[in-house]
Structure 1
Amino acid sequence: MDQKILKQVSQEENFPESKVAKAINLIKEAGNTVPFVARYRKNETGNLSEDELRSIVERWDYLVNLQDRKAEIIATLEKREKLTPELKEAIQKSETMQELEELYKPYKQKKKTRGMKAKEKGLEPLANKLRQGELKTEAEAESTASDFIDDEQGVNSTDEALQGAQDIIAEQISETVDNRRDVKEIAAPETYLETQLKDQAQDENKVYQDYYDYRENLKKMPLHRAMAINRGEKEGVLKVSLSSPEERIIDKVALRELVSLENAGFSRELVFEAVKDACKRLIIPSIQRELRTSKTEQAEEHAIKIFSQNLERLLMQPPIKGKNVMGIDPAYKSGCKIAVVDYKGDMQEVDVIYPTPPFNKTEQAAKKVISLLNKYQVEIIAIGNGTASRETEEFVSETIEDVELSLEVQYAIVSEDGASVYSASKLAAEEFPELDVQERSAISIARRVIDPLAELVKIDPKSIGVGQYQHDVPQSKLKEAVQFVVEKVVNQVGVDVNTASVHLLRYISGLNKKSAENMVNTRSELGGFDSRAQLTEVKGLGAKTFEQCAGFLRILDGSNPLDKTAIHPESYHIAEGIIAHLNEVPENIGSEALRTGVDSLLNNKNQIQSLCQEFDTDKYTLEDILTGLKKPLYDPREEFDKPRLKKDVMKLEDLSEGMILEGEIRNVVDFGAFVDLGIKEDGLIHISNLSEKFVKHPMEIVSVGDVVQVEIVSIDKDRGRIGLKKV
């Protein structure tokens, strides 16, 4: 293990070297997954979380790759006899890939530059004479330059010879490490990004109006603004330029380059011109590219972080268990598709109604809805929030209010982001080959209420509207971040191995699509798994994979009661010993009597210590086992706010400033949080209205799915905008 990298990761991540070393050994060398290590190897890592483990591993990988790239560049430059002690030192001190590549850029094999062409014409000796101050007068320079005139080489005059010599000098100056460092020191805090309107035709809705004539310090620019400008430039709306303190930079570089040419006369003049050319044409643009690239990378990393955090909270939305649900995919001309699913998510019936314009067949639609509600004992109606959602909500509200139903029915407005993507996918076609796209979408909307996680994992996360500029970031990095979030949530929640889909199982620790498919096939052959031990019968599932996945796969009605808990099979002997210690039997796991016994142990430190010694285990493992015995079916999603259920509808016209309402956080971005108030338009709590105290980022206060009390502070009916303040 590289001790230098170990020390750096330890310092940057603020964890002891011993913890970092353990994490790297467990994940990089022993081949364990992050969810497995976070859950079942707490004692070895000191209870590092999934996010902490991932951060350590990512930083480790980056520094290892950076070190390898440095060695590769140094070897290449040595082979080409281009490596100076100063350049080698600068390469070794590089802290980022971007900084390293900018250092190496002048030495890469590339198209011929002006300086390279001048060297090929034999002008390097003339350049050396100028840099050494040998040509003190213009006459001397002209005379010496005339010796380099060569029609065959394309040097037709003394002016061309001297210009070629200056081109060589300019490139030499630009490749000097100290010059680049000086330029960066000046440019980094004082470079400004400027934007101008390039083509208004590309911005019909004036999305980028704020940037038609804009200037801001690049270093101080908020990250979300950098992303907005990048998008505007990419779409052809904005023209972007950078400006740095050019004169100060030239003076700084000239101070070094001209120090030995104080009395060199004409040589000094020509070298000074080369300094200006080197700064304006080569060094400043290069440093500006580096600074802007660095800003963009920071902004992209931040955008991915925001998206990941929002996605995690969305996936952690609590399920509404034990209720049959009707899903409605609203529409106008094509009608509203409806689907009834039972409490397990199995489709019962699909149909179509036409309560919205242009048909307005509300009576006929109401009869059909009421019939289905009573027939299937539906208690919740899930309405998609897309086109015609408002009209459909009004229809549903009036329908369930005007008639007596066998059960009390409420409705919820459900985000249908990604539902159309899923319903048109190969997966949906395989699941419901006999249904059309809209009918599948209605089923997906209904299932999002019953078990959001199981349904949302089927959808490309980029299609779920809970981020900021996720379409503008490197998709490979976004994919990695999304994969981590989904795996983290799925494994924290755990899955019922006898009902989970391939799409859900493939996110379980140690599994992939192929092993998940094999697991489902074996499940079908066995008629369901009776115990975790039977998982070893799955084709291709070896001892290591079993170790990684077993604790996250639950068997709710199997022969071994421990199989429904999060306790890992490797610790069953400890769990059985504790049950015996409490004079209980495994069948009583989760019972009131056993919970009382477990609580008495958890509240007694001496007992915990004694049991750790008796069963040769650690405190973390023991406490997790006790929690598993106490709450065998624990679901972390239950700790979050459930979706808001309603019976009546509200419109923008019903709102007034000063009203206090309850809403649900739909999306969190850098400048605030969007809130679903139960009407068509979402309200915005600006970051300044989230708290009386200073808030660095909205996520310090709210998360996706939170139910909050808000006060209406402004209403713009023409633009459909509602300003809110968190109460």
Structure 2
Amino acid sequence: MSDTKIFSFLAKDLNFSQKQISTVAEFLDDGATVPFLARYRKEATGGLDEEQIRAIRDGLETQRTLESRKETILKSIKEQDKLTPELEEQIINCTDLKTLEDLYLPYKQKRKTRGDKAKEKGLEPLAKLIWEQEITSGDPVEYAKEYINPEKEVETVEDAFDGATDIVAEWINENLEVREMLRDVFANHSNIVTKKNPTVKERTNFEDYYDFSQKSKHLKPHQILAINRGERENILFVNVDLWEERTLENIDDKVISNDLSIFTPYLQDAVEDAYKRLLFPSLERELRSELTDKADAHAIETFATNLGNLLMQPPLDKKVVMGIDPAFRSGCKVAVVDKHGKYLEGTTTYPTPPQKKVAEAEVVFETLIDKYGVELIAIGNGTASRETEQIVADFLQKRKEKHPDEELHYLIVNEAGASVYSASKVAREEFPELDAAQRGNISIARRVQDPLAELVKINPKSIGVGLYQHDVNQNQLSGKLDDVVESCVNEVGVNLNTASAPLLSHISGLSKRVAQNIVKHREEEGIFIDREQIRSISGVGDFRFQQAAGFMRIPESKNPLDNTAIHPESYEAAEKLCNLFGINLDKLSEEKDKIGAKFENVNLKETAEKVGVGVPTLELIIENLQKPGRDPRESLPKPLLRTDVMKMEDLKEGQKLEGTVRNVVDFGAFVDIGVKQDGLLHISNMSDKKKIEDPHDVISVGDIIKVEILKLDLERGRIGLGLVGG
């Protein structure tokens, strides 16, 4: 299939025009990034967003892989001198990998089979008599006698028929119609059956699957992943169950065309052998693999959605933060960072068991708060988190008596990945003089100030908002999470004068090396004062500049457009627009509130022609003139800040309170309501008006929600929640 045919196929498959597909393909092949195309090439792509462009990118990759596989297969069959015009046409017109591999199956180089050995014994002509079903009279034994040959180990009629049916069984296995029919049967009628391994004595997390059976098509993604893990850990035995008798009849219907053939009983034997020995094991593996792929895709999508919501949490910037990384025996690490995330001072306290040096810890807190003007305390949510929270809450209550007007709160921060960061090369380069334990609490403090800037330093898989993330296809997971990080970083944009190298490396068009060169230039030459300076960085040519410039912000620039998402290629148009509507560019930040009124009744098409751009670019310019330096995260609700803590014993069924969504999974969400244990908001309790199919339709990671306590189990530490107003 040529590129033109691929574009045509994808246009129909994705419901875009062929021109949109070919345009995106050309840009991507030239090295353009998805965020750049989605924001700055809307005229060319017909207004496609990032998700749509990524769908085209992935479709192109799939179809090009398919084309490459076709070439390999055609070459292989040609070399065997078995390529007929009909087969070639079938392969060329094939649109999915599964059918393609079925077409190739009879010609695939494989180790010697029972059928191959039977052919070597000269039994293929007998197999053809059985397969063709044309002889309706006479004794089959008489036909078989001709093939007895003791020298080739065919000593009896039975030997002849055994070998011939081995050959026929392989023909049945390789039959396209049979395989397609059986695929449909497996997909719609098979059950996945799981049993407990009788050698397992201790309790496990897989008790729901000790005696379990479910139609494979009705299995939920989390059930598939749990079953796979239980099987991998040798706790569960897993089988695919199918009504064998009915399935064999279905194959008979495809294979047996003449019931009067004298070889029908042998053909039926071959059908049964093909099914049990070849087809069932092959299609069982295929079904399990497909179920896993489906579950993987769902789990990866869930993880990606959660990660995107976590990365886009609103920053609590401009606050001096004290980060606490809680622990028991090794003590709680404390660090203070200034309003820009710069590390000021750190130490270790021992308020938690076994030392319980609460008074000494309170002196340290008091000293650091007074010395640096701490406005917020961030507590990691790992081991000893709730014990530390109680100590901090008690401390804040005492401090409130002496400083009644002080605005000092604490909040619990998801610390997943902090230990990974603290031992990483990035952390060592940032804080070479500190040990790993002390770096983690700096990360916790900074996550409050700017979650995106801090979390991009960590492998997304370590951030802890997934389900079964270590079980799914790791390449697909990494690719998807990289897309999410790229999308979030470029949507927000970065301050070129404060961004770290890890954050810069996610900007459209920039590599890790170029990001490091930017930081080095900043340290040696001072801050950037306009976007054009980026061109002087080693490794930045015209193309990289084009891809990256619009996503970088320079608040210190004399040109206010350098602090917007307006691309330098559109500066001339932006200046023309300002002249047309009497906007003083030099006083943009002062006049931004008045600008909206000037564009109230603007004729977009007419104005776009006057300033020499397309309508989408004009809309981008107008939006950014009104909000220079805008952070899209600002409009989201801020994290929930606390001054006091509750115990589970303080809770009552029916009580209503606010909580923060920590993780969203298939069956619901885990919500931090300020007690030791997160509560479970089950999907069935998200609405009393309608059935919710996907929790992400209702809530996201980081949301502040109002919940009601429906069920309390103090003994097991479980809290069941319902969504208020759901």
State the number of aligned residues: 717
Question: Given the superposition, is the C-alpha separation of residues 297 and 86 from structure 1 closer, same or farther in structure 2, using an over 3 Å criterion?
Answer: farther
Q: Is the CA contact (8 Å cut-off) linking 2:144 and 2:160 kept in structure 1?
A: no
Give how far 1:708 is off.
Answer: 0.6
Match of residue 107 from structure 1: 107
Give how far 1:594 is off.
Answer: 4.1
1:426 partnered with 2:422: no
Q: Secondary structure at the match of 2:250?
A: helix
Match of residue 640 from structure 1: 636
- Bigger mean CA offset, 619-628 vs 376-385: 619-628
Question: Given the superposition, is the C-alpha separation of residues 601 and 75 from structure 1 closer, same or farther in structure 2, using an over 3 Å criterion?
Answer: farther
Q: Is the CA contact (8 Å cut-off) linking 1:187 and 1:245 kept in structure 2?
A: no
Match of residue 416 from structure 2: 417
Match of residue 546 from structure 1: 545
Give how far 1:628 is off.
Answer: 1.5
Q: Secondary structure at the match of 1:206?
A: coil
Q: Is the CA contact (8 Å cut-off) linking 2:581 and 2:598 kept in structure 1?
A: no
Separation of aligned partners in 2, 1:59 and 1:358 = 57
**Residues 190-201 of structure 1 correspond to what in structure 2 (within 5 A)?**
190-198=189-197, 201=200
Match of residue 210 from structure 1: 208
Question: Given the superposition, is the C-alpha separation of residues 301 and 17 from structure 1 closer, same or farther in structure 2, using an over 3 Å criterion?
Answer: same
**Which ranges in structure 2 are unaligned for 5 or more consecutive residues?**
none
Give how far 1:136 is off.
Answer: 4.2
Separation of aligned partners in 2, 1:83 and 1:293 = 30
Q: Deviations over 1:580-616 (max 9, x none)?
A: 334343321122x3431x212432133x333212111
Give how far 1:422 is off.
Answer: 0.7
Match of residue 587 from structure 2: 588
Separation of aligned partners in 1, 2:372 and 2:696 = 40
Question: Given the superposition, is the C-alpha separation of residues 256 and 309 from structure 1 closer, same or farther in structure 2, using an over 3 Å criterion?
Answer: closer
Match of residue 248 from structure 1: 246
Give how far 1:376 is off.
Answer: 0.4
Separation of aligned partners in 2, 1:195 and 1:159 = 39
Q: Is the CA contact (8 Å cut-off) linking 1:382 and 1:414 kept in structure 2?
A: yes
Separation of aligned partners in 1, 2:138 and 2:707 = 78
Aligned with residue 399 of structure 1, among 395, 399, 403: 395
Match of residue 159 from structure 1: 158
Match of residue 443 from structure 2: 444
Match of residue 662 from structure 2: 666
Large movers: runs of 4+ above 6 Å: none
Separation of aligned partners in 1, 2:542 and 2:602 = 35
Separation of aligned partners in 1, 2:240 and 2:111 = 25
- Bigger mean CA offset, 75-84 vs 213-222: 75-84
Amino acid at match of 1:39: R
Q: Is the CA contact (8 Å cut-off) linking 2:592 and 2:627 kept in structure 1?
A: no
Q: Is the CA contact (8 Å cut-off) linking 1:35 and 1:509 kept in structure 2?
A: yes
Question: Given the superposition, is the C-alpha separation of residues 522 and 712 from structure 1 closer, same or farther in structure 2, using an over 3 Å criterion?
Answer: same
Q: Is the CA contact (8 Å cut-off) linking 1:595 and 1:629 kept in structure 2?
A: no
Match of residue 627 from structure 1: 623
Give how far 1:305 is off.
Answer: 0.8
Match of residue 712 from structure 1: 709
1:17 partnered with 2:14: no
Match of residue 693 from structure 1: 690
Q: Deviations over 1:231-255 (max 9, x none)?
A: 2112221111112232222223223
Separation of aligned partners in 2, 1:22 and 1:424 = 44
Give how far 1:383 is off.
Answer: 0.3
Q: Is the CA contact (8 Å cut-off) linking 2:105 and 2:174 kept in structure 1?
A: no
Match of residue 263 from structure 1: 260
Amino acid at match of 2:597: S
Separation of aligned partners in 2, 1:583 and 1:167 = 87
Amino acid at match of 1:444: S
Match of residue 483 from structure 2: 484
Aligned with residue 719 of structure 2, among 700, 714, 722: 722
**Residues 315-394 of structure 1 correspond to what in structure 2 (within 5 A)?**
315-394=311-390
Question: Given the superposition, is the C-alpha separation of residues 294 and 82 from structure 1 closer, same or farther in structure 2, using an over 3 Å criterion?
Answer: farther
Q: Deviations over 1:642-677 (max 9, x none)?
A: 111100001111111111110111111111111111
Separation of aligned partners in 1, 2:605 and 2:360 = 69
Separation of aligned partners in 2, 1:393 and 1:625 = 46
Separation of aligned partners in 1, 2:199 and 2:658 = 40
Q: Is the CA contact (8 Å cut-off) linking 1:487 and 1:507 kept in structure 2?
A: yes
Give how far 1:475 is off.
Answer: 1.0
Question: Given the superposition, is the C-alpha separation of residues 88 and 196 from structure 1 closer, same or farther in structure 2, using an over 3 Å criterion?
Answer: farther
Match of residue 55 from structure 1: 55
Q: Secondary structure at the match of 1:583?
A: coil
Give how far 1:681 is off.
Answer: 1.1
1:292 partnered with 2:288: yes
Give how far 1:462 is off.
Answer: 0.9
Separation of aligned partners in 1, 2:174 and 2:361 = 76
Amino acid at match of 1:56: I
- Bigger mean CA offset, 177-186 vs 715-724: 177-186
- Bigger mean CA offset, 76-85 vs 363-372: 76-85
Separation of aligned partners in 2, 1:662 and 1:427 = 36
- Bigger mean CA offset, 468-477 vs 397-406: 397-406
1:576 partnered with 2:575: yes
Using the aligned pairs only, state the percent identity: 46
Separation of aligned partners in 2, 1:540 and 1:64 = 30
Question: Given the superposition, is the C-alpha separation of residues 694 and 359 from structure 1 closer, same or farther in structure 2, using an over 3 Å criterion?
Answer: same
Q: Secondary structure at the match of 1:657?
A: coil
Q: Deviations over 1:312-351 (max 9, x none)?
A: 0000011101110000011111111100000111100001
Q: Secondary structure at the match of 2:194?
A: strand
Amino acid at match of 1:506: S
**Which ranges in structure 1 are unaligned for 5 or more consecutive residues?**
none
Q: Is the CA contact (8 Å cut-off) linking 1:377 and 1:407 kept in structure 2?
A: no
Match of residue 122 from structure 2: 122
Match of residue 43 from structure 2: 43
Separation of aligned partners in 1, 2:549 and 2:567 = 7
Amino acid at match of 1:9: L
Separation of aligned partners in 2, 1:302 and 1:237 = 24
Separation of aligned partners in 1, 2:580 and 2:32 = 32
Question: Given the superposition, is the C-alpha separation of residues 536 and 132 from structure 1 closer, same or farther in structure 2, using an over 3 Å criterion?
Answer: closer
Q: Is the CA contact (8 Å cut-off) linking 1:668 and 1:698 kept in structure 2?
A: yes
Q: Is the CA contact (8 Å cut-off) linking 1:552 and 1:566 kept in structure 2?
A: yes
Amino acid at match of 1:279: Y
Separation of aligned partners in 1, 2:104 and 2:202 = 43
Question: Given the superposition, is the C-alpha separation of residues 7 and 245 from structure 1 closer, same or farther in structure 2, using an over 3 Å criterion?
Answer: farther
Amino acid at match of 1:69: R
- Bigger mean CA offset, 500-509 vs 109-118: 109-118
Q: Secondary structure at the match of 1:723?
A: strand
Question: Given the superposition, is the C-alpha separation of residues 89 and 723 from structure 1 closer, same or farther in structure 2, using an over 3 Å criterion?
Answer: farther
Q: Is the CA contact (8 Å cut-off) linking 1:102 and 1:286 kept in structure 2?
A: no
1:311 partnered with 2:307: yes
Question: Given the superposition, is the C-alpha separation of residues 634 and 107 from structure 1 closer, same or farther in structure 2, using an over 3 Å criterion?
Answer: same
Separation of aligned partners in 2, 1:292 and 1:445 = 41
Q: Deviations over 1:44-86 (max 9, x none)?
A: 2232211111112111221222233234323322332445677
Amino acid at match of 2:96: T
Q: Is the CA contact (8 Å cut-off) linking 1:590 and 1:632 kept in structure 2?
A: yes
Match of residue 681 from structure 1: 677
Amino acid at match of 1:247: E
